[in-house]
Amino acid sequence: MSANEKRILLVEDEKAIRDAVAAYFERDERENYIVRGVGDGQSAVEEFEKYPFDIVILDLMLPKLSGERVCRSIRETSNVPIIMLTAKGEVEDRIIGLELGADDYLIKPFSPRELVARVRALLRRAHAESEPQLEVLDFGDLVIDISGHKVTICDEEIDLTASEFKLLTTLARFPGRVYTRMELVEKVLGYDFEGYERTIDSHVKNLRAKLGDDPRNPRWLYTVHGVGYRFESPDKGDKAKAARARAN
């Protein structure tokens, strides 16, 4: 395996789509994509256990094991970027996909060009996150170790997907600043196609669940109605208050 190889697991039961997508990626001259195509969910899970992949393109409606189940299974062991493919109209289904921890979705029929753009963006982001940056954001109970790609609450590590991590670090770098959904789409997903703002809502929902942050009584992640989201750091304030109380 050469260092710049990018291994894609493509899970799609329609052979015509599978072949066309694989051919499109393998024709790309700028990147060395290796596509492994499988036609059902069971094979996808088996293949993923056998080989390391850099990214997974996953159709939602699949024989044997649904895309939903495959996504859940992969997420038990890996934070590999996952793009879900869904048919037009399956709005609820694609939201389910994101709630299961997929990083992105694309509605069929899609242009292979757009799929390649999404894959590039996700791979670039995954790569950027694996680069060492010495940065730790300490909010008391919540500590975000950006260099170690690790988030802990009261010293307990919590497991975030690439999108959730990016979302959290984007917001937490500037506590109090309000980000619109569109800004977050750009920063977290790396592109600015319209209509993907709801993706952010799903990621926020997942992130809140993992942080144990109650949206009705938030500690960190605040909804700014009609606009977007902001991060607050109550613990730091509490600590400062406690320090002042001790000093008095």
Please tell me the number of Cα atoms within 13 Å of 189 on its side-chain side.
Answer: 29
Helices 112-130 + 162-173 axis angle, to 10: 60
Smallest CA-to-CA distance from 167 within 220, 119, 226, 120 is with 220
Minimum CB separation from Ca ion for residue 83, in Å? 14
Minimum CB separation from Ca ion for residue 87, in Å? 7
Please tell me the number of Cα atoms within 13 Å of 1 on its side-chain side.
Answer: 10
Output 31 or 90, the one with its CB closest to Ca ion.
90
Q: What is the dihedral of CA 27, 28, 33, 37, to 10 degrees?
A: -40
Binding site for Ca ion (CB under 5 A): 13, 59, 61
Minimum CB separation from Ca ion for residue 94, in Å? 13
Output 32 or 66, the one with its CB closest to Ca ion.
66
Minimum CB separation from Ca ion for residue 35, in Å? 17
Output 112 or 218, the one with its CB closest to Ca ion.
112
Minimum CB separation from Ca ion for residue 110, in Å? 13
Residue nearest to Ca ion (CB): 61
Question: 61 — alpha (psi -120 to 50), left (phi > 0) or beta?
Answer: beta
Measure Cα distances from 208 to 33, 211, 217 in Å.
35, 5, 11
Output 40 or 183, the one with its CB closest to Ca ion.
40
Output 108 or 187, the one with its CB closest to Ca ion.
108
